[in-house]
Structure 1
Amino acid sequence: MATSITCPNCKHPFVMEEAFAADIEKEMRGKMETEWRKRMESLQAEKHEMAQLRQQVAAERQQVLQDRQRQEEELNIRLQAEKIKLQESLMENIRKDVSADFENKLRMLQEAQQESEEKLRTARQKELDFLRKAQELANREQELEIDLQKRMLEERSRLMEQIRKEELERTNVKETEYQLRQKELEKQLEDQRRLVEEMRRKAEQGSMQLQGEVQELALEEMLRSTFPFDAVSEVGKGVRGADCIQTVRNQFGQECGKIIYESKRTKDFSREWIEKLKADMRGQGADVAILVTQAMPRDMERFGERDGVWVCTFSDVKSLAYVLRDAIMKVYHSARSQENKGDKMHLLYHYLTSGEFAEQWSAIREGFRSMKTSIQREREAMEKLWKAREKQLEKVLLNAAHIKGSIEGIAGSDSVDLQLLDDAAEALLAPPNGTRKPEQDNI
């Protein structure tokens, strides 16, 4: 999951992983370019050395060609000079002594010609040797060039493989460091998220408690301003009870009854509030209980009565308080008008029809139902246990009958008294005197 961070200066959001990845990529790219530049400079130096060597070989070849050309020119010049000199000498000798020295000169000319031919053959042989050496030098240069190219390719491949391995190792190290750093950041973010969640939860609890206290104060202030003759008292913190109690008084200051209030300002409604408020109503001796809540029960759209408790929102509590207060005052005046007009029967009737008796009887009925449910569960558990024991007893008696049959088959007519299968078995199967198997009673 990508983590977005906002710059505190320019307010520009960016992804933290991309920023780290860009920095790492930039650093790795710079290192790779530096390493590649060094390798290329080394290759360029080697290439420059090879170029110098090639130039040196070419210069030596050119020098050899020039030397050969110069030798050929010198040889031709010498041959031409000797030929001219020989011709002149021959002509002169012929002119001097044509007849006398003709044979001698002819022989000498032939020898000179042979010598010239020998020198020419020697020169040609030298030329062939020079050409052969030049060809060998060219072949050697070509082999050297091929070997150099091969070495350069091998060195380049080796350097590329070494660079690739080094970069792979660096990448693995960087990747490991990045993963560890990412795990560390994720751990820090998770800790911060938990801390923020805990602080938010505490803040919400404090805010909900503060909102509840504000609604309680607003409810008390509304009751005091709406009903100035009544006494609105706050229930102390930490004391079992509702939020406030309204003591209804008539225009003469006489107490007509009590209305107990409890304020809830939460998102969800709980049925436990009703039972708690009913217990508080009985404990405080109130006539009516009103639960002021922000979240109504799911099946109630407006205010109404739920299990002896009036449930309403804060906007409806004022109207509901008017109606219930008026009903309490009417009941009080009706009861006052019946005073001294009857005997114990009237007092008993008044008590039986009062809200106090109804609440107390409701508490007795709830306790009775709880006791009945507990007895029913205990009865079902005991019947289950008895049924299991009956199965075990039947199994014992069945095995005992098998044993008796086996013994009688072996003993024949000899009697073997096994009381377990006769009277003892009936005694075990029969219930004890004065006891009976429990039955399902309707309570």
Structure 2
Amino acid sequence: KIKEEKEKISAEVKNKLAEEQSEQFAELQKELNEKSIQIKELNKSKAEIEKLKREKNELKESIEAEAQKTLNEKLNEEKERIRKSEADKVELKLKEYEKQIEDQKKLVEEMKRKQEQGSMQMQGEVQELAIEEWLSNNFPLDTIDEIKKGARGADCLQIVNTRTRQNCGIIYYESKRTKDFQKGWIEKFKEDIREKGANIGVLVTDAMPSDMDRMGMREGIWICSFEEFKGLCFVLRESLIQISTALSSQENKGDKMSMLYDFLTSSEFRMQIEAIVEGFTQMKNDLDSEKRAMQRIWSTREKQIEKVVTNTVNMYGSIKGIAGTAIGTVKALELPEGDEPEF
């Protein structure tokens, strides 16, 4: 009986414990479920929070990126504005510099032109003085008249005189020292010659006509270099003296004037003068070289002198053939007695 009671009591206790445990388990299960729900809610909240954080960060980054983009655009616009403004300033400054440089170039060109003009004028005046000095030194009996600066006409007149005769003729000289030969010089010079009543015109120039490489006659005007002038003036002067002597005779004076004028303007006379002056010029050049090589040029010099003498004799014979006994005898150019040719 006691055993039964024990078992009964044990069974009741077990049942009671089981009930209590069941209740506790149910309570724990309920609490666990509640906790699980809370945990789920918490996790959900955390997920929401993380999502919000991400969205916040993304929004922040988006805003910052947009702000940076806007700032960059504004900065670029400002930089472009500044660059353009500076570029405009630089362009204006460059244009100012370019204008200044261009003005300076024009000024330099103008100064250079004036300097060259002044230099050419000075060179021309130097040659004029050299011509006058040469004529005065070599022909002390002649009258050398300078044409004043600014006056109409060429540069100087040479009135040829001898010890026995005054004004055998007039040679008119014009000096030019420019880079190019001007055709208009000749016509103007011819007008000046007619106005002054000169017999011969000589244009002394650095620049020769394009179709002339040495001294020659063009439209009745002798054109030569300064070096050629030194020989030409001797021959032209002597020609005027001989012509003047021939004209001094009253016999058939009109015919002689016409014949001598024709001869003076003829190709024969021009070629004789050119040949004589060429010989003188070549002689001078060779004499300069002679200082360095005297022995080498004896033969050449002799031939040139013979050429000068031959052409002088030819010119003398041509003039005497026209003027006859009216022209004085030049013994050095006459044949020795007994050597006259017999016909």
Please report the TM-score for the alignment, with normalisation by the length of structure 1.
0.53
**Equivalences for residues 223-262 of structure 1 within 5 A:** 223-252=135-164, 254-262=166-174
* SS at structure 2 position matched to 1:286: coil
**Residue 141 of structure 1 aligns to which amino acid in structure 2?**
K
Quick check: 1:135 aligned with 2:47?
yes
The alpha-carbon deviation at position 212 of structure 1 amounts to 0.6
**Relative contact order, CA 8 A, sep 6+: which one is greater?**
2
Separation of aligned partners in 2, 1:241 and 1:111: 153
Q: Find the counterpart in structure 2 of residue 13 from structure 1.
A: none
Encode CA deviations 1:224-267: one digit per residue, 9 max, x unaligned: 22223322221112222221111222244643222110101112
2:243 aligned to which of 331, 334, 338: 331
1:212-361 matched pairs, under 5 angstroms: 212-252=124-164, 254-336=166-248, 338-339=249-250, 342=251, 346-353=252-259
In the alignment, which residue of structure 2 is the partner of 1:386? none
* 1-structure distance, mates of 2:166, 2:219: 29
SS in 1 for 2:180: coil
Q: CA deviation at 1:350?
A: 4.4
Are residues 109 and 270 of structure 1, via their aligned partners in 2, closer, same or farther at CA, if it must alter by over 3 Å? closer
Identity %: 38
Whether the 8 Å CA contact 1:292–1:314 is kept in 2: the answer is yes
Report the residue type matching 2:211 in the other structure.
Answer: D
- Map 1:33-48 to 2 at 5 A: none
Shift of 1:275: 2.1
SS in 2 for 1:295: coil
Match of residue 175, structure 1, among 46, 65, 87: 87
Q: Which residue among 75, 78, 97 is the counterpart of 1:163?
A: 75
> Cα 1:278–1:100, aligned 2, differ >3 Å: closer, same or farther?
closer
Counterparts of 1:198 and 1:296, CA distance in 2? 27
Q: Secondary structure at the match of 2:38?
A: helix
Amino acid at match of 1:187: K
Asked if the contact 2:175/2:203 (under 8 Å) is kept, the reply is yes
Could you say what the CA RMSD is over the residues aligned between the two structures, in angstroms? 2.7
Distance 2:22 2:185 in 1: 150
CA distance, structure 2, for counterparts of residue 229 and residue 147 of structure 1 = 119
Residue 353 (structure 1) shift: 4.8
Report the counterpart of residue 22 of structure 2 in structure 1.
Answer: 110
Conservation of the 8 A alpha-carbon contact between 1:224 and 1:232: yes
Indicate if the aligned counterparts of 2:156 and 2:173 stay in contact, CA closer than 8 A: yes
Partner of 1:148, secondary structure, is helix
Aligned-partner Cα distance in 2 for 1:313–1:303 = 7
Cα distance per residue 1:74-123 (max 9 Å; x no partner): xxxxxxxxxxxxxxxxxxxx9xx746654444333322222222222222
Whether the 8 Å contact between 1:257 and 1:329 is mirrored in structure 2 is yes
Shift of 1:291: 0.7
Q: Secondary structure at the match of 1:161?
A: helix
Residues 243 and 260 of structure 2 are in contact (CA less than 8 Å); yes or no, is this contact kept in structure 1? no
Equivalent residue letter for 2:172 = I
- The match for 1:207 is 119
| Contact 1:294 1:313 survives alignment (8 Å) | yes
- Structure 2 distance, partners of 1:238, 1:99, is 164
Other-structure match for 2:57: 145
Which secondary structure state, in structure 1, belongs to the residue aligned with residue 168 of structure 2?
Answer: strand
CA distance in 1, matches of 2:70, 2:231: 94
Deviation string 1:51-88 (CA, Å, 9 cap, x unpaired) is xxxxxxxxxxxxxxxxxxxxxxxxxxxxxxxxxxxxxx
The amino acid of 2:65's aligned partner reads: L
Q: Find the residue that maps to 1:166 and give its secondary structure.
A: helix
Q: Does the 8 Å contact 1:287/1:355 carry over to 2? A: no
In structure 1, what residue type is equivalent to 2:217?
E
For 2:237, the aligned partner's letter is R
The amino acid that maps onto 1:349 is D
CA distance in 2, matches of 1:347, 1:296: 38
- Which ranges of structure 1 fall in alignment gaps of 5 or more residues? 1-93, 360-443
